A and B are shown apart, each in its own frame.
Chain A
Amino acid sequence: MKLALEKMKGGCYKSEIAPSFRPELEVIGKPGAKIDGPQLVSGERAFVEDYVTPDTCYMVVLRSPHASAYINSIDDSEARKVEGVIEILTAYNTPETHYMQAGQGNPEPSPHDRRLFNLKVRHVGDRVAAVIAETLEAAKEACSKIKVDYEVLPAVFTVEEAMAPGAPLVHNGIVEYRSGAPADLDEYNKKAGDPREGKVIYQFPLHADIHKNIAASNKGEIGNVDEAFAHSDAVVEATYQTSQIQHTPLETHLCFAKMEGGRLTVYASTQVPYHVRRIVGWVTGLPENKIHIIKTRVGGGYGSKQDILIEDLTGYAAFVTGRPVFCHNTREEEFIANSTRHPMRVHVKMSGNKDGQITGIFMEVCANTGPYGNHCLTVPMNSCSKTLPLFKCDNMRYDLKVYYTNTPPAGAYQGYGTPKGTYGLMMAMAELADKLGIDYKDMVLKNHVEEGYMLEILKGLGEGREGNVVPVGSCGLDEAVRKGCDMINWGKKEVSSDPDWKIGKGFAMIMQGSGLPGLDHSEAIAKLETDGTVILNSGGADIGTGLDTISAKIVAEILKLPMDRITVNSGDTDSCAFDTGAYASSGTFFSGNASVVATRKLKDMIIKEAAFQMGEKEEDLDVRAPGEVYSKKTGKTLSYYELSHTACSGTGHGQMIAHGTFTTAASSVPYGAHFAQVAVNTRTGEIKVQKFYALQDAGTPINPEVALCQMYGAVMKSIGHTLHEDMILDKKGRCLTANMTDYGVPMISEAPEDFKAVLIDVNDEFGPFGAKSISEIACNGAAPAIGIAIHDACGVWIRNWPMTPEKVLKALGKI
C-alpha cells in the first residue's frame, strides 16, 4: 500500500522494498523481481491445467466411506455402461506392486505399504476405484454407479487408541525387508491376517511393529538424563498435543498424463520430478527413459507436493488406456485423501538449576502417521533433530514412536516435524523458567548453542542411518534473540485500556536444516549458447519459492551477464540432470550450489577457450559485464557472442557445456527467533496477535525480497496452525471441516497488526555465496511464541493446537 501510494503520488516509489546484502556482489543479495513473474501475472500458460488438451479424458476417484473395511467385491458393470467411460480401475485389474507415495531419496525411510488400489480401505477417502471417461460428467456418473460390498472393520483414530492392547490393526499383512530382515521374520509373519491386508515392505529396518500399529520408532540419549533430573533444582513435565492440519495449496493436486511415441509424458505440479518419474515407473513398469516428467509452475506445495499423491494413478491410467488423462482433486479430496501434518503428542521433561542452566531434557514423541507410512520415521525424527541441537545441554534423551491409525493420511509438511518439537521444547523451557523464577530470555541466552559447539545429540538422528556429529556452523541465533528482545521491548509489561484484555509476550528459538547432508544430491547443466547467452538446466524444482531466480542470479554473478540473457529451465527430467527435489529446505543450498558448480565450470571453459582464441594466458583473463572476457594484461576483450560463435563455427572446439554436481556432508543450519505479542480477552477467550517479529539467519539472502516473502508466508501458515486450523473428525473418521471456510485458513484479516520479518546477516561457509535455507524454519516459531505470550498475558499454558478461545476460557476456569 505504501509503495502504491508513493507511485500514485510521484510516479515511482523510492522506498526500499527489501534490504541489500554483500555490497561486493552485483546481483546476489539485492532485491529483484522473480524471473517467472511476468509469465504468471500475464496469465500465460504455466500450470498443469494450462497444458490439458481438448481430447483429454477425465479421471474421478471413488473413495471409501469407511475408515476401515475389507472390500468383498466391486460391481462396476452398470458404471461401464455409461456413455463415454473408457476404463474403470480397481484393485482387481491393477498391479499388486507395493510402494509408497513419499518423494524421498531411494531407498526410502518409509515402508512400502500400499498399492494403487488396496483390498482393504484404511481411511475415509481411501481409493476404491477410478473411472476414466471422455467427460468429467460421465466419470462422475459412472462413479456413482459402482457398487462396492464392504466388510466394515473397527478403526483407530488416535495414538492412544492405536497403542491400546488389543487395538484393531491398521496393517496386518505379510512383512518383508529389502535389507536387514530380523531373524524371526518367518515367525512374525505367522500372525499375518486376511490376505486382503496386503504387504508392508521395508527398505531397511525402521524399528516398526505392525502388530502394535507401530510404523516406526527410534530412541537415543547423550549423557545421563535421569541423573540430571535427580540432581536439579527444578523439573517440569508436560504434554503438548498438535492437531491434524492440511497444506491447503491454492492449486489442489492435479496431473495430466499422455502417451506419445511409446513414452509416457506427465505434467506435474510437483516438488520432486525425479521421484515422480521413479514411482510412476514402478507402478507402470516403464523404465525411466520411457517417462518424461514436466514440472510446470506450482500453485503451492508446502510439502504436500513432495508426495506422489495423484501422479501415480494418473500416469498409470494414461499408460493403460493410451488416452490423455487429467485428474484434479476437489478441495474436499485435498483434506481427506491427500496428506496432512502428522498430529503429534510431544511429552517433555526438562530440568534446570537456579542459575538458569538446563541440565536435562527428555522428549517423548508419539506421532500419528494415519493409514500409510509416508515419512513416518523422518517427520517425527525432525521434531527431535531440529530442536534438541538448539540447546547446550549434556544430558538429552528422545524416544519416538509413530503409530498407524485410520485418520486421513499424513506426510511431509513445511517444517517437517520441527514445528511440533519446537512447540513442546520451547513451551517446556518457558514453564521451567517460570518455575525457577528466572526470566525466560536469560534462560534462552544461557542455554542456546553457538558456533563451534559440538552437537553430540545428532549421532542417533540421521534419516534412517547414523547421523553426523558436527559442530555448530554459522549461527545468527544469539543476535536474533537479542535483536528481537529489543524490538519487542522484552521485559516491559504492556497494559490495555480495556481491563478484559491482557497483553503478553513470548518468543521461541528456531532452527532447521539446509537439505540433507549425505543424502541430497543436485545437478545442473550450464550451456553457453552460440550468441553468448546462457541456458541453465537445473534439476532443482522451483515451486514458487524463487529457486529459478536464484539460479539465474548465480549465473549472472559468476559470468557477469545481464539477467535477461540467462534462461533457467528446471524440473524437466528429459533435459535436466538428477536432483532429489525441493524438500528439506534444500533448494537454495543444494540446487543453488549445483548451479554454482556448473557455472564456475562453464566460466573455466570460457576462459580456456578465450585464451585459445585471444592468444593469451588463462591466468591473465577474467570475465566482466556485460558478458565478455578481458585481458588484465593487454586490455583486449572478447564478447561471449564472439567467443561462442567462433567455438561453434565448424573449426572451433564446440559448444561450451558444463555439468555441475553438488553433494556434501556439511550442515548449514539456519537459525532464528520468532517473537509474538498477543492480547487475550479473559472474558471471551479471544486471542489477538498484535505483533509478530520473525528474525532469521538465512546466511546470504540471495534474493532478499523473495526471502522476506517466504518468511511472511510461512509465519502466516504457522499462525494458522496455532490459532485457527483444525481437521476435526467425527467418530467414524469423517472430516467435518473439509472446506476452506470451516477449516479456518488465516487470511489477511488475521495478519498481526505489527508484522515484521528481519534477516540477520550471517555469511555461511558452505552455502552458495553464503546462503542458507529460509522458508521451512519460518514455520517453527509461532506456536511456542504465541503459547508463551498467552501465558505471559493471562497465566495459563495452552498445551494443544489450535489455541482457541474455548480452550483459553477452560484454562481460566470460566467454563
Chain B
Amino acid sequence: MAEKLVIASSAKEAAALKNSKSAFLAGGTEDNRLNSTVDAKTLISIGRIADLDGITKKDGCIRIGAMTTFQEMLDSSLVPDYLKDACRFMGSRTKRNMATVGGNIALRRTDSYLYPTLIASHAVLELMDAKGEVSERCVCCYLKRYDELKDCLIVAVNVPQKASVVSKRYANTVQSHAVLTVSVGEVEGKIRVGVAAKNTALKSLCDISEALSQKDLSDDEIKKMIEADKDLRFESDIFGSPEYKRYLLAVTISDLAKKVKGGKR
C-alpha cells in the first residue's frame, strides 16, 4: 500500500523520481483499486503534467499523450477507428473517463484492452528516462526489454493513422477480465498479430505474423504454431480449459487475418 504521494510538476521531474519502490499514478483505476496489483511505497502523480496530454497528427501518425483517457480517445476525431474499437473493450463508462492510455500500457496486464491493437498496429512509444532523455521504442520492444525500461515514463504513444487492424475480445461479461484479446493488423504490407491471453502471455506472435505475411494459414496450422509457442502454455482456470483457449486463439487469428487481408472465409 502506498504511503506517500508526490505530485510531479513536469515530465522530467516525474521520470527522475521513479525507482523500484515507486509507481506512476496516472488515471488511478489500478493504483487506487481494492486489491491492486501495484506494489509501491510512493505514488508519483503525473496528472498535472500538460506535456502528457493531447492528441495530434503528424506525418501519417497520431500522437496520443500518455495521460489521454479512453474516453478522450473515443471522442477524438484523430484517433483511428481500430484503436477506438480497443477502447470500447473497456465496458465501464466510469473507468473510460479515468483510465489513460499510458497507464494501460505500463500495467502490461495479460487481459490488456489496448496491447494487442498496439502490437498489431506497430505502435511506437515515447519513453523518458531518469535523465529526462526521450527515446522511441515500438510496443513489442518495450515488452521484450521491459526490465531495462520499466522505470521510464511513458510520454506518448504513436499509432499509424491508416492501418488495417481488427480486434476481438472474449470475456464472460463486458466488464469481466478477458480470457483472450487478439488483434491482427497489416501495416506497410506486413501482418502483425498481438495477443493478450489472461494469466498466460502478452505478446506479439511473431512466427504466426511472419507466416501470415507470406501466405494464408488454416486453423490447424495456426493451432500447431500456437502449441509450439513456449509462451502460450495455457492452463485450466476460471476462464476455461487450455483446449478451449488454444482453439479460440487459433480460429480468432484465422478469422481476423482473413478480414485484414480482405478475404472471405
Determine if B248 is an interface residue (Cβ-Cβ < 8 Å). yes
**A805 to B248, alpha carbons, bound, how many Å?**
10
Tell me which residues across on chain A come within 8 A of B176, comparing CB atoms.
724, 741-742, 744
Tell me which residues across on chain A come within 8 A of B243, comparing CB atoms.
815
Answer whether A805 and B170 are a contact pair too, CB < 8 Å, given A737-B238, A747-B91, A815-B247. Answer: yes
Contact B172 A724 (CB under 8 A): yes
Answer whether A742 and B173 are a contact pair too, CB < 8 Å, given A684-B252, A749-B91, A815-B243. Answer: no
Beyond the given pairs A742-B177, A747-B91, 5 more chain A to chain B contacts, judged by CB atoms under 8 angstroms and listed by A's residue number, are A736-B238, A741-B176, A744-B176, A815-B243, A815-B244
A-B contact count (CB 8 A): 53
Contact B172 A749 (CB under 8 A): no
Contact B175 A747 (CB under 8 A): yes
Contact A684 B170 (CB under 8 A): yes
**A739 to B35, alpha carbons, bound, how many Å?**
11
Tell me which residues across on chain B come within 8 A of A749, comparing CB atoms.
91, 173-175
Answer whether A683 and B251 are a contact pair too, CB < 8 Å, given A736-B238, A741-B175, A744-B176. Answer: yes
Contact A728 B172 (CB under 8 A): no
Answer whether A747 and B173 are a contact pair too, CB < 8 Å, given A683-B255, A684-B251, A814-B247. Answer: yes
**A683 to B176, alpha carbons, bound, how many Å?**
21
Beta-carbon nearest neighbor of B175 in chain A: A747
Per the 8 Å Cβ criterion, residues 775-815 of A in contact with B are 804-806, 809, 814-815
Determine if A511 is an interface residue (Cβ-Cβ < 8 Å). no
Q: Would you give the 0/1 interface string for B58-99, flagging 1 where the beta carbon is closer than 8 Å to chain A?
A: 000000000000000000000000000000000100000000
**A750 to B171, alpha carbons, bound, how many Å?**
11
Answer whether A724 and B173 are a contact pair too, CB < 8 Å, given A742-B238, A809-B244, A815-B247. Answer: yes
Tell me which residues across on chain B come within 8 A of A685, comparing CB atoms.
248
Tell me which residues across on chain A come within 8 A of B170, comparing CB atoms.
684, 686, 805
- Chain B interface (Cβ < 8 Å from any Cβ of A): 35, 91, 170, 172-177, 237-238, 240-241, 243-244, 247-248, 251-252, 255
**A277 to B243, alpha carbons, bound, how many Å?**
53
Determine if A745 is an interface residue (Cβ-Cβ < 8 Å). yes
**A809 to B174, alpha carbons, bound, how many Å?**
20
Contact A684 B177 (CB under 8 A): no
Contact B173 A806 (CB under 8 A): no
Tell me which residues across on chain A come within 8 A of B248, comparing CB atoms.
684-685, 805
**A133 to B175, alpha carbons, bound, how many Å?**
37
**A728 to B240, alpha carbons, bound, how many Å?**
11
Q: Smallest Cβ distance from B227 to chain A, in angstroms?
A: 14
Tell me which residues across on chain B come within 8 A of A741, comparing CB atoms.
175-177
Contact A744 B173 (CB under 8 A): yes
Determine if A746 is an interface residue (Cβ-Cβ < 8 Å). yes
Tell me which residues across on chain B come within 8 A of A809, comparing CB atoms.
244, 247
Tell me which residues across on chain B come within 8 A of A804, comparing CB atoms.
172, 240
Tell me which residues across on chain A come within 8 A of B172, comparing CB atoms.
724, 744, 804
Tell me which residues across on chain B come within 8 A of A728, comparing CB atoms.
238
Beta-carbon nearest neighbor of B91 in chain A: A749
Beta-carbon nearest neighbor of B171 in chain A: A744
Tell me which residues across on chain A come within 8 A of B255, comparing CB atoms.
683
**A414 to B238, alpha carbons, bound, how many Å?**
26
Task: Determine which of A724, A737, A806 lies in contact with B244 in the assembled complex, contact meaning CB atoms within 8 Å.
Answer: A806
Q: Would you give the 0/1 interface string for A722-752, flagging 1 where the beta carbon is closer than 8 Å to chain B?
A: 0010101000000011010110111101100
Q: Would you give the 0/1 interface string for A680-701, flagging 1 where the beta carbon is closer than 8 Å to chain B?
A: 0001111000000000000000
**A565 to B5, alpha carbons, bound, how many Å?**
54
**A737 to B247, alpha carbons, bound, how many Å?**
24
11 A-B pairs, CB-CB below 8 angstroms? A683-B255, A684-B252, A686-B170, A736-B237, A749-B91, A749-B174, A749-B175, A804-B240, A805-B244, A809-B247, A815-B247
**A809 to B240, alpha carbons, bound, how many Å?**
12
Task: Determine which of A736, A746, A805, A814 lies in contact with B173 in the assembled complex, contact meaning CB atoms within 8 Å.
Answer: A746
Tell me which residues across on chain A come within 8 A of B238, comparing CB atoms.
726, 728, 736-737, 742
Per the 8 Å Cβ criterion, residues 242-272 of A in contact with B are none
Beta-carbon nearest neighbor of A740 in chain B: B175
**A724 to B173, alpha carbons, bound, how many Å?**
7
Answer whether A750 and B252 are a contact pair too, CB < 8 Å, given A728-B238, A806-B240, A806-B244. Answer: no
Tell me which residues across on chain B come within 8 A of A747, comparing CB atoms.
91, 173-175
Tell me which residues across on chain A come within 8 A of B247, comparing CB atoms.
809, 814-815
**A804 to B252, alpha carbons, bound, how many Å?**
17
Q: Smallest Cβ distance from A191 to chain B, in angstroms?
A: 39
Question: Which 5 pairs, one residue from A and one from B, show the smallest C-beta to C-beta distance?
Answer: A749-B174, A744-B172, A806-B244, A815-B247, A806-B240
From A737, A804, A806, A814, name the one whose CB has the most chain B CB atoms within 10 angstroms: A806
**A597 to B177, alpha carbons, bound, how many Å?**
52
Tell me which residues across on chain A come within 8 A of B91, comparing CB atoms.
747, 749
Q: Smallest Cβ distance from A781 to chain B, in angstroms?
A: 20
Contact A806 B174 (CB under 8 A): no
**A804 to B244, alpha carbons, bound, how many Å?**
11
Q: Smallest Cβ distance from A778 to chain B, in angstroms?
A: 20
**A744 to B173, alpha carbons, bound, how many Å?**
6
Q: Smallest Cβ distance from A639 to chain B, in angstroms?
A: 51
Tell me which residues across on chain B come within 8 A of A736, comparing CB atoms.
237-238
**A686 to B240, alpha carbons, bound, how many Å?**
14
Tell me which residues across on chain A come within 8 A of B240, comparing CB atoms.
804, 806
Q: Smallest Cβ distance from A332 to chain B, in angstroms?
A: 9
**A814 to B255, alpha carbons, bound, how many Å?**
16
**A178 to B247, alpha carbons, bound, how many Å?**
58
Q: Smallest Cβ distance from A423 to chain B, in angstroms?
A: 20
Tell me which residues across on chain B come within 8 A of A746, comparing CB atoms.
173
From B173, B240, B243, B248, name the one whose CB has the most chain A CB atoms within 10 angstroms: B173
**A570 to B31, alpha carbons, bound, how many Å?**
43
Tell me which residues across on chain B come within 8 A of A750, comparing CB atoms.
173-174
Tell me which residues across on chain A come within 8 A of B173, comparing CB atoms.
724, 744-747, 749-750
Tell me which residues across on chain A come within 8 A of B175, comparing CB atoms.
741, 747, 749
Q: Smallest Cβ distance from A749 to chain B, in angstroms?
A: 4
**A737 to B173, alpha carbons, bound, how many Å?**
14
**A216 to B175, alpha carbons, bound, how many Å?**
39
Beta-carbon nearest neighbor of A737 in chain B: B238
Beta-carbon nearest neighbor of B35 in chain A: A739
**A749 to B248, alpha carbons, bound, how many Å?**
22
Tell me which residues across on chain A come within 8 A of B35, comparing CB atoms.
739
**A795 to B240, alpha carbons, bound, how many Å?**
23
Q: Smallest Cβ distance from A331 to chain B, in angstroms?
A: 9
Q: Smallest Cβ distance from B34 to chain A, in angstroms?
A: 9
Q: Smallest Cβ distance from A243 to chain B, in angstroms?
A: 12
**A683 to B173, alpha carbons, bound, how many Å?**
19
Q: Smallest Cβ distance from B6 to chain A, in angstroms?
A: 25
**A746 to B171, alpha carbons, bound, how many Å?**
12
Per the 8 Å Cβ criterion, residues 93-135 of A in contact with B are none
Tell me which residues across on chain A come within 8 A of B177, comparing CB atoms.
741-742
**A737 to B35, alpha carbons, bound, how many Å?**
14
Tell me which residues across on chain B come within 8 A of A805, comparing CB atoms.
170, 244, 248
**A804 to B173, alpha carbons, bound, how many Å?**
11
Tell me which residues across on chain B come within 8 A of A745, comparing CB atoms.
173
